[in-house]
Amino acid sequence: MRFHFSLSRPALALAAACTLACAAAPASATAILFIGNSFTYGDPAGAAPTVQNYRPNTVTDLNGTGIGGVPALFKAFTEQAGLHYDVSLETSPGKGVDWHYINKLGTIAKPFDTVLLQSYSTLDASKPGDPATLIKYSGLLAQAFHDQNPNVDVRLTSTWSRADQTYKPGGAWYGKPIEQMALDVRAGYDKADQASNLISDVIPVGEAWNRAFASGLADVNPFDNTVTGIDLWAPDAYHASSYGYYLEALTIFGNVTGLDPRSLGANEYVARDLGIDPKIAASLQSLAAAQLQAEVPEPSMALTFASMGGLMLLARRRRQASRASSVK
């Protein structure tokens, strides 16, 4: 299946030019940094083999703790796609972007090409749903990375609904549909994106999870003693299982590279290493692709995902330029 978009002839020509230019460019590595907490590095609870321990020798853990995590899954996807990425990560459990700015700026402020920021799961630990801290510190981090490399591409990774926050009394989203927390978190990340002309995009991981719930592939409630699909959560109903982290990595891969996650194929080796059945792997790839497609408006004309990547990059550059002129 191809994705469809409504484009003028000049835009189509530009898309083709972007695709050809990318194909002709020398194969130089893109330096990418993942910043986050256990939602990025992978929590070991109930997962064997653990995502946290996945191929740590393929990535650079700036904290020296030997973590592979979602960055290592992403690295493996790019290798299978024939892409060249130097992948680094700086993560700490239970922290938001404010902590990384205050405590780790000297470690992370380097001239990276791409930086992904993932903050606390409820946006603010003491005020769930409040994006103020995310808005302030993602902007400060974006500026710090821009100072190191004016062409850096900074993106935000919007995370999933926590079952413990939804189904347990006292949870900040108690009594609401399971999808709502992810939507509220996404709204907060969108506000942070809109507040800084140096942030280019929000990666819709939580909404990819919502699609897994809506499709019937994933169980929506781990507390009701019924199993209606795969469990995206770890046994704590908080962190992700291997399935959940795999879906996260697929969504990041498609967003960052502009490639269709389905191009990896059902038999790609990350799924095999994590013990994910090829049919489920293919379904998760399709869900990630569908969510990424939904991020691009007005579908009507066929383009490959590679061309879409070029157009999305152009759109982001234009948006950044417009924001920059508006704040002068």
Q: Are 182 and 162 in contact (CB under 8 A)?
A: no
Sequence-ordered list of residues with C-beta below 8 angstroms from that of 106, at least 6 positions apart, any chain? none
Structure confidence by residue, pLDDT tens digits, 198-249: 999 999 999 999 999 999 999 999 999 888 899 999 999 999 999 999 999 9
Q: Which two tokens stand for residue 128?
A: 């769930």
The string of pLDDT tens digits covering residues 95-114 is 999 999 999 999 999 999 99
Report which of residues 12 and 158 the model is more confident about.
Answer: 158
Q: Is the dihedral of CA 245, 73, 248, 4 positive or negative?
A: negative
In contact, 249 and 39? CB cutoff 8 Å: no
**Predicted pLDDT of residue 312:** 52
Q: What is the mean pLDDT of the chain?
A: 87
Q: What percent of the chain clears pLDDT 90, i.e. is strictly above it?
A: 78
End-to-end CA gap in the chain: 44
Res 278 pLDDT > 90: yes
Task: Answer positive or negative: Cα dihedral of 250, 252, 255, 257.
Answer: negative
Question: pLDDT tens-digit profile of 28-47?
Answer: 899 999 999 999 999 875 55
Residue 137 near residue 58 (C-beta atoms within 8 A): no
